[in-house]
A and B are shown apart, each in its own frame.
Chain A
Amino acid sequence: MSFFSIMSKVLNLSLIYASFRAATPIIYAALCASVTQQANILNIGTEGIMLIGAFTAVTVSYFTGSWILGVLCAMLAGVVIALIMAVGHIKFGADICGIGMGINMLALAITKFLLKAIYDVNGAFSSPQIKVIPKVSIPFLDNVPVIGTLLNNWSLTEWFAIILIIVLQFFIFKTVWGLRLRAVGQFPEAAKTAGIKVNAVKYRAMAISGLIGGLAGAHLSLGYSSQFIENMTSSRGFMGVAAMYFGGANPVKASIGCLLFGFADSIGARLQAYGLPSQFVLMMPYIVTIVVLAISMAAQLRSAKRRQSSLN
């Protein structure tokens, strides 16, 4: 088989949607981490919030037969977990990384336990009674060649991810609320002096982060798949935090980082078929994570240096 015919099989149109599909859960995670990072809270618990959200979504959808209720309850569960972290960190001054990792471990253990307690299964739970987030099919696009393949049959939460990126970008950088949020993150003393209730802003940021994290989990279990699997987040929360760093807590830039991961993942899935060692291919998203972080840190250091030299 010639090189070109292989490349045309690897780099076809479906790769674009596949990249986005693989990136969406990470995008949600990155947004979840970005909101709190703006208030100078490193939400390392994103992974745990997502996992609990995923479990809640499946459970509620299974028992009520409504995906909407599933998604809403997942978001609610996300808020509860995020606020537990917030109280520990803001009120009692606990280290956020400690609480975050604690939440991650708790999420792993409690979902495993509940899986056994509620459904009496190990590892995974799936059922036809789980109602999933619908896919948006646009009938007239079926016959449009390129755009039809590209945009049809996306899950509703995949479309919503794009909206959420734009909305968050707008709120963080173009509104008074966003200005206050950033002020609290960058100069809490100055913000306090200006009459901003620093802690209230932080609590709110954590709550919003919880909403997004819960939604991320719901998308994972009801949109990206239709089941709950033990540890189904498999580090997507951490990759989201990495992407948040890459984008400097800027929703649009962080999402671009996520798309890079998604692209690495999807192209890897396609390249394996042509004899590339699976171990190497499975490493790719993580190599991309390291490279991307290194580049973004170098860029940030350089701009920080420039800012300093202009002050001198």
Chain B
Amino acid sequence: MKKLIAATLLAGLCIVPATMAMAEEPIKVCIVYTGNLGDKSYNDSCHAGAEKAVEDFGIELKELEGGTADEWKANLLGACEEGYDLIIGASSNIADYITEYGPEYPDTKFAVIDTTVDLPNVESISFAQNQGSFLAGAAAALFTQKTDIEGVNEDHIIGWVGGMDIPVLHDFYTGYEQGAKYVDPDVQILQAFAGEWQNPLKGKELTLAQYDQGADIVMNVASGTGAGVLEGAAETGKYAIGVDLNQDNDQPGSVLTSMVKRVDNACYLVIQSVVDGTFEGGSTQYLDLAVGGVSLTDFSVMREALGDAFPEDIVEQIDELTEKIISGEIVVENYEGFGPQE
């Protein structure tokens, strides 16, 4: 009898910790970035969302950075082999590899941000960056008319500097152009791509070239390369528009506003869906202006820098345009392959 009790106790002792461990085994999430953290832009935004998920759900997080295509592929494959519960491809650059290797790991959940991958174990989250950019373009086109502000010239020319020449950036540009032309049909837009996500020197050189060609405000959509765009603005006393995160304070007084793309929300929500067990592979979420997926900042840093010279009418017009887009009165065009998908 004693033996039996002892054996039961022993067995119980063994089982209880085992089941407890099973219940508390944290969900393992890996994020594969295309570029580095510390870009004060897209990647940092995604990182912020992941950090919040770590705090709220106690997940185990691994982040892999890489600057080149071969690193991205190696990082993704490494993550697949490690056996994570969820692997997040942080940008559209990684989508091709997920399309290629996702089917080989059917038990792994994948998520891809910023584009769509049509696989049963992949959840896609993309943004209406065209809508946010529409507002940014409108703000830029209005701002370049304010010749009484120091550094703004007579020409109605605005600029745009992108990182890599990839489809999602054209979706940005489509909106930017439409927004600018909506408020000023005569505005001219200069466009340039740096070809890299991590080369601020190139970004700065392209920005200075656009200033030389008559632009006085340049929007960056360039992750780390964009730091050079903002630096170029500060150095020459001209203006820039930030992207992804609120970059207004990166070069205070030189950044009119930022087009904030809530990559952090996307990252957080997809992790949450795995934690809650509501993860739906093969589905696509589209975060637009109406649900706060994209927006402009409140111009407060610029208002403080310019004081009385700050053109309040721009803010009013932007608010008006925002309402018109949400109500559907203005339909912002998409680049081919983007937009809400059924």
Contact = CB atoms under 8 A, between A and B. Distances in A.
B283 interface: no
Given A227-B200, A229-B199, A269-B206, A124 B192 contact: no
Contacts of A220: 201
A275 B192 CA distance: 9
Contacts of A18: 205, 208-209, 212
Contacts of B159: 273
Nearest to B162: A278
A233 to B, nearest CB: 10
B25 interface: no
Contacts of B231: 225-227
B198 A123 contact: yes
Given A18-B208, A122-B65, A270 B213 contact: yes
Interface residues of A, number: 35
Interface in B76-94: none
Nearest to B225: A229
A231 B67 contact: yes
Contacts of A275: 191
B282 interface: no
B195 A279 contact: yes
B49 interface: no
A101 interface: no
Contact of A123 (B39, B165, B206): B39
Interface residues of B, number: 35
B317 interface: no
Interface stretch (B30-38, B144-152, B255-263, B318-326): B30-38
B201 A272 contact: no
A158 interface: no
B224 interface: yes
A226 B232 CA distance: 11
B67 A230 contact: yes
Chain B facing A: main interface SS = mixed
Contact of B191 (A122, A225, A234, A273): A273
B39 A124 contact: yes
Contacts of A232: 199, 201
A258 B198 CA distance: 23
A113 interface: no
Contacts of A278: 165, 192-193, 195
A126 B201 contact: no
B227 to A, nearest CB: 7
A9 interface: yes
A122 B38 contact: yes
A115 B212 CA distance: 34
A171 B134 CA distance: 59
A124 B192 CA distance: 22
B293 to A, nearest CB: 26
Contact of A224 (B192, B201, B213): B201
A93 B100 CA distance: 48
B209 A269 contact: yes
A14 interface: yes
B238 interface: no
Interface in A164-205: none
A22 B212 CA distance: 15
A227 B165 CA distance: 25
B38 A227 contact: no
18 contacts: A12-B212, A22-B205, A122-B36, A123-B36, A123-B37, A226-B231, A229-B224, A230-B36, A230-B67, A266-B209, A269-B205, A270-B212, A273-B159, A273-B190, A273-B210, A275-B191, A278-B192, A282-B195
Interface of A: 1, 9-10, 12, 14-15, 18, 21-22, 121-126, 220, 224-227, 229-232, 234, 265-266, 269-270, 272-273, 275, 278-279, 282
Given A12-B212, A279-B165, 14 more contacts: A1-B188, A12-B213, A123-B224, A124-B200, A224-B201, A225-B228, A227-B200, A234-B199, A266-B209, A270-B209, A273-B191, A273-B209, A282-B193, A282-B195
